[in-house]
A and B are shown apart, each in its own frame.
Chain A
Amino acid sequence: AQSVTQLGSHVSVSEGALVLLRCNYSSSVPPYLFWYVQYPNQGLQLLLKYTTGATLVKGINGFEAEFKKSETSFHLTKPSAHMSDAAEYFCARGQAGTALIFGKGTTLSVSS
């Protein structure tokens, strides 16, 4: 079955440090990939998506992700963390005929 794996259920960084959240997918066919952010007691908000074309995708709030077919990865990065980035992040992939498949999520903590 096709799946999405997020490495690390919890990532902690200092304010101003690089944010790196890891996502790997399983598939023999290049997938469509998404990153979402969830703040406490809220729904999910789309950060960015990869469908076709450029493999480096820029999203909202200064986040970006790079699709690497050779590594089956779609890691999310931000050069400099801000306190407001503290949230839970979900990687997801599209699958024909059904709903998105989500990873289990990574909680990002940012300390001052």
Chain B
Amino acid sequence: DGGITQSPKYLFRKEGQNVTLSCEQNLNHDAMYWYRQDPGQGLRLIYYSQIVNDFQKGDIAEGYSVSREKKESFPLTVTSAQKNPTAFYLCASSAIRILSNQPQHFGDGTRLSIL
């Protein structure tokens, strides 16, 4: 079945450490997204990418980095500069370069916590 796979499901970060969250999709979607979810704050956009080798900052990009070397993959690195990384991270994709009528499809998320 086609879908979006996020790994790992749970991740722990030590102080000063960078960690990378994986997101892979086999839907042949062009656009991919990363969101951060905190209780009561909804989904906040971190980064998005419309095509390979191109990505744009979202509303809360500071302390995060991404790459888009392959259409199927859009990994997110949470750097040591992100002082409050504890959250639920969601990856999503949509079929065509971002059109306003396209729904987004979501993975099952990665929960990141500080050790």
Contacts and interface: CB of A to CB of B under 8 A. Distances in A.
Contact of A99 (B41, B48, B88, B105): B48
B16 interface: no
Interface in B26-58: 33, 40-43, 45, 48, 56, 58
Contacts of A41: 88, 108-109, 111
Contacts, number: 65
Interface residues of B, number: 27
Contacts of A96: 98-100
A83 interface: no
Given A43-B108, A46-B105, A105 B42 contact: yes
Contacts of B88: 41
Tell me the dominant secondary structure on chain A's binding face. loop
B107 A99 contact: no
A9 B101 contact: no
B104 interface: yes
Interface of A: 9, 31-32, 34, 36, 41-46, 49, 51-52, 90, 93-100, 102-105
Interface of B: 4, 6, 33, 40-43, 45, 48, 56, 58, 88, 90, 92, 98-109, 111
Q: Which 9 A-B pairs have the closest CB atoms?
A: A94-B100, A43-B106, A104-B42, A32-B101, A44-B106, A102-B43, A51-B101, A96-B100, A43-B108
